[in-house]
Amino acid sequence: MNTVATAGAAAAVKTAFDRQGALGEDARVDRAMAGFACDFGALSALRLESCIHCGMCADACHFYIATEDPQYTPIWKVEPFKQAYKRESGPFAPLFRLFGFKRKLTADELGQWQHLLFDSCNLCGRCSLICPMGIDVAALIEQARHAMFEAGLAPKELYEKAAHQKRTGQPEDSAEPYRDKLLAIGRSHGVDIPLDKPEADVMLTVPRTDIEHYPEAVAALARVMSHMNVSCTFRSDGLVAENYAYYAGGREWQRDISRRLIEQALACKVKVLIVPECGHAYSALRWEAAELYGRPLPFKVRHITEYLAAQLDAGKLRLRQAANGVSTFHDPCQLVRKGGVTESPRKLLRAMGVELRELDDHGAFAFCCGGGGGVLDIQRAAPLRYRAMESKLREVDQTGAQTFLTSCSDCRRTFDDGKRHFNWDKTPQSLLELIADHLGSAQEARS
Ligand code: SF4
Ligand code: SF4
């Protein structure tokens, strides 16, 4: 275990960072600090004041575990903001300023932190779970990302995708608009795609990752909903589940992107908005959208896994036995640690008779795949991401399972990328697709 106090030396190593806009150096720092202060409340202050520098969060973080580099200690990742808090608003702030104990940061120093706040943090929350003082370190890192965005210091990939999504509803250009791709997936998989119905009980969204990489998962969603005879619809103007501004730290953009989906859900008077197999979309919509929208949402937000488990309980989802061999399952961080969606996938697997062999660290203690929080999209982060994911691949191997399942398409893509990089012999599969392949009749469900 390291201690937080040792982290400073390693952080002196220079790293590349991206800038947006033409702000002067002082203005960047002032914007960052104002952005941090804007999010910063009594709770965050209490969190920063409570740290006892025990270093336990380091042992929870796969980036630290893989490298043993003290700069990857989770609480160290918010150090500039901690220093700014002490200098500007902590209980000894006047003394710190008077005696010059805490000098103001430079924009370059702040830019160095882009690597720690974005490239080496998945916002996975494992450090928050482990901290003996109950400090939600991941929430502090998320707040620090907001400040970096305000200062024009977000990684370019995340910034550009967020800007594109705010403008057009999808995070990047595609040869065909996603609406047309969605309909094409329906035609090629022989499944009806409910689109732009004026009213429905359920609104469906789709991960951009599935549209681009896993069209069979999109077809699986439509097939399962049709099997249950649910009144549902996709909406052309509210299709994409992911929120790239959530990754980039742009709060107003995040609100605008969420609002697009909320307004479509309101327009068709749904009771439930379904987040498909995507962990961060779930956090952005279920836990943050109402606050940004400024009022409670008059519909429920549910991840497809928890929705299907409830439908199974209600007898509306019928499943038959899957000859799947021994399987293991990767719990997406945002579902288990923020949403407590631990039992739902296991219930669905049991209903299909799947023999589940758990990873050593599963459920709330599962390690991240390494790609969450936008890290998968940051190109320069790839070497570190591969180091961080190695132990996860080993855990999967140690189960001896033949089938490796998950319920987040970005986790799936991260593992697929790891498969190519490491020449790994496992292929990550979608739980939703497994379900769609084992829809049963009422008689089969009873037997
Ligand atoms: S585990 Fe908690 S108290 Fe210990 S160093 Fe990390 S943030 Fe501070
Ligand atoms: S949220 Fe996850 S990736 Fe980020 S510092 Fe904490 S444990 Fe590490």
Residue nearest to atom 3 of ligand 1 (CA): 51
Cα separation of 242 and 213, whole Å?
Answer: 14
Domain boundary residue, one of 285, 313, 341? 313
Sign of CA dihedral 223, 226, 232, 236: positive
Report the percent of the chain where pLDDT is more than 70. 90
Nearest CA to ligand 2 atom 6: 127
**pLDDT given for residue 3 in this prediction:** 42
Q: CATH number for the domain including 420?
A: 3.40.50
Rounded to an integer, the average pLDDT of 227-244 is 96
The model's pLDDT over 171-214, given as tens digits with 9 standing for 90+, comes to 988 878 999 999 999 999 999 999 999 999 999 999 999 999 99
> Is residue 321 situated within a structural domain?
no
Check whether 71 has a pLDDT greater than 90.
Answer: yes
Report the nearest-CA residue for atom 8 of ligand 2.
61
pLDDT at position 173:
86
Per-residue confidence (pLDDT) for residue 92, from 0 to 100:
63
Q: Which ligand is nearest to the CA of 389?
A: 2
Q: Whole-angstrom Cα distance, residue 216 to residue 197? A: 23
What is the arithmetic mean of pLDDT over 26-30? 87
User: Which ligand gives the minimal distance to the CA of 135?
Assistant: 1
- 444 — pLDDT class (breaks 50, 70, 90): low
Please indicate, yes or no, if residue 84 is contained in any of the structural domains. yes
Q: What is the mean pLDDT of residues 296-309?
A: 97
Residue 443, pLDDT score: 55
301 and 363, same domain (yes or no): no
Residue where a domain terminates, one of 313, 345, 370: 313
Q: What are the tens digits of pLDDT across the range 245-258? A: 999 999 999 999 99
User: Which is the closest atom of ligand 2 to the Cα of 372?
Assistant: 3
User: 169 and 150 in one domain?
Assistant: no
Rounded to the nearest angstrom, the distance between the alpha carbon of 322 and the centre of ligand 2 is: 35
- Quick one: pLDDT at residue 8? 47
pLDDT of residue 446: 46
At residue 23 the predicted structure's pLDDT band, cuts being 50, 70 and 90, is confident
Task: Establish if 207 belongs to a structural domain.
Answer: yes
Is residue 93 located within the same domain as residue 220? no
Tell me, yes or no, whether 59 and 200 share the same domain. no
CA of 53, closest atom in ligand 1: 5
For residue 288, give both structure tokens.
Answer: 């943050």
- The residues that bridge with 195 in the sheet, in sequence order, are 234
Residues 66, 201 share a domain: no
- CATH number, position 114: 1.10.1060
Asked whether residue 159 is domain-assigned, the answer is no
To test ligand 1's pocket by mutation, which of 133, 137, 141 has the most ligand atoms within 8 angstroms of CB?
Answer: 133
Question: 10 lies in which domain range?
Answer: 4-154
Co-location of 273 and 367 in the same domain: no
269-283 tens-digit pLDDT: 999 999 999 889 999
How many A from CA of 52 to the centre of ligand 2?
18
Interhelix angle for 137-150 vs 42-50, to 10°? 120
Question: 412 and 290 in one domain?
Answer: no
Confidence of residue 45 (pLDDT cuts 50, 70, 90): confident
Going by CA atoms, what residue is nearest to atom 4 of ligand 2? Answer: 121
Whose CA is closest to atom 4 on ligand 1?
54
- Ligand number with the minimum distance to the CA of 64: 2
Q: Is 2 helix (H, G, I), strand (E, B) or coil?
A: coil
In this structure, the residues whose C-beta lies within 6 A of any atom of ligand 1 are: 4, 51-57, 75, 131, 133, 135, 137
Find the range with the poorest average confidence among 78-82, 220-224, 340-344: 78-82
Residue 110: what pLDDT? 86
Cβ within 8 Å of residue 116, ≥6 positions away = 11, 71, 72, 76, 77
Grade residue 390 by pLDDT with cuts at 50, 70 and 90: very high
What span, in angstroms and rounded, lies between the C-alpha atoms of 204 and 364? 27
Q: Which residues of 54-85 are buried (b: 16+ CB within 10 A; e: fewer)?
A: ebbbbbbbbbbbbbebbbbbbbbbbbbbbbbb
CB atoms inside a 10 Å sphere around CB 136? 17
Buried b (16+ CB within 10 A) or exposed e, 182-196: bbebbeebebebbbe
* Residue pLDDT, tens place only, 107-143: 888 888 999 999 999 999 999 999 999 999 999 999 9
In the listed set 130, 154, 178, which residue is the last one of a domain according to the structure? 154
Spell out the residues 6+ positions from residue 353 whose beta carbon is closer than 8 angstroms to its own: 321, 322
Q: What is the DSSP letter of 377?
A: G
Query: Once rounded to an integer, what is the mean pLDDT over residues 144-154?
Result: 94
Give the rounded percent of residues in the chain with a pLDDT score beyond 90.
77
Name the more confident of 337 and 442.
337
Supply the pLDDT for residue 88.
64
Predicted confidence at residue 375, as pLDDT, reads 98
Ligand 2 centroid to 263 CA: how many Å? 33
Q: Residue 13: pLDDT band by 50, 70, 90 thresholds?
A: low
Q: Could you identify the atom of ligand 2 that is nearest to the CA of residue 62?
A: 8
- The three state secondary structure string of 130-182 is HCCCCCCHHHHHHHHHHHHHHCCCCCHHHHHHHHHHHHHCCCCCCCCCHHHHH
- The Cα 129–Cα 121 span in angstroms is 15
d(CA 181, CA 95): 61
Distance 160 CA to ligand 2 centre (A): 24
Q: Is residue 98 scored above 70 in pLDDT?
A: no
Q: Rounded mean pLDDT of the chain?
A: 90
Residue 247 resides in a domain: yes
pLDDT tens digits along 331-373? 999 999 999 999 999 999 999 999 999 999 999 999 999 999 9
Dist. CA 19 → ligand 2 center (Å): 23
Q: What are phi and psi of 275, to 5 degrees?
A: -90, 125
Ligand 2, CB within 6 Å, residue ranges:
60-61, 63, 74, 77, 121-127, 137-138, 141, 368
Specify the pLDDT at position 438. 97
**What are the pLDDT digits (tens) for 395-414?**
999 999 999 999 999 999 99
Looking at the domain assignment, is residue 319 inside a domain? no
CA–centroid distance, residue 375 to ligand 2 (Å): 12
Atom 2, ligand 2: which residue's CA is nearest? Answer: 124
- Confidence class for position 9, pLDDT limits 50, 70, 90: very low
Cα–Cα distance for residue pair 203/231, rounded to 1 Å: 9
Residues 262 and 404 in one domain: no
Q: Are residues 138 and 171 in the same domain?
A: no
Residues 274 and 340 both lie in one domain: no
Of all protein residues, the one whose alpha carbon is nearest to atom 2 of ligand 1 is 131
CB atoms within 10 A of CB 293: 14
Q: Please check whether residues 29 and 114 belong to one and the same domain.
A: yes
- Same domain for 9 and 116: yes
Taking residues 32-56, what's their average pLDDT? 79
For ligand 1, the distance from its centroid to the CA atom of residue 49, given in whole angstroms, is: 11
Answering whether pTM is above 0.85, one says yes
Distance CA 217, CA 219 (A): 5
Mean pLDDT of 17-41: 82
Q: Give the total number of structural domains in the chain.
A: 3
pLDDT at 93: 65
Calculate mean pLDDT across residues 94-114: 74
Residue that the structure tokens 């979309």 belong to: 281
| Residue 160 domain-assigned (yes or no) | no
